[in-house]
Amino acid sequence: MHEGDGDMAAIFGPAANLAAKVSLIACGSLLVGGFALWALWPRTDYARNVRSAVAQPVPFSHQHHVAGLGIDCRFCHSAVESSADAALPPTSTCMTCHSQIWTNAQLLEPVRQSLATNTPITWHQVTDLPDYVYFNHSVHIAKGVGCQSCHGEVATMPMTYKAKPLTMEFCLDCHRNPGQQLRPREALYDTQWQRTPGTPAPAELLRRYHVPDRNLTDCSLCHR
Q: What percent of the chain has pLDDT over 90?
A: 73
Model pLDDT for residues 88-137, shown as the tens digit of each residue: 999 999 999 999 999 999 999 999 999 999 999 999 999 988 899 999 99
Predicted local distance difference test score (pLDDT) of residue 14: 73
- Say which DSSP state 183 is in: -
Secondary structure of the chain: what % helix, strand, coil (to 5)? 45, 0, 50
Predicted local distance difference test score (pLDDT) of residue 5: 53
pLDDT of residue 41 exceeding 90: no
pTM: 0.80
Buried b (16+ CB within 10 A) or exposed e, 28-50: eeeeeeeeeeeeeeeeeeeebeb
pLDDT of residue 207 exceeding 60: yes
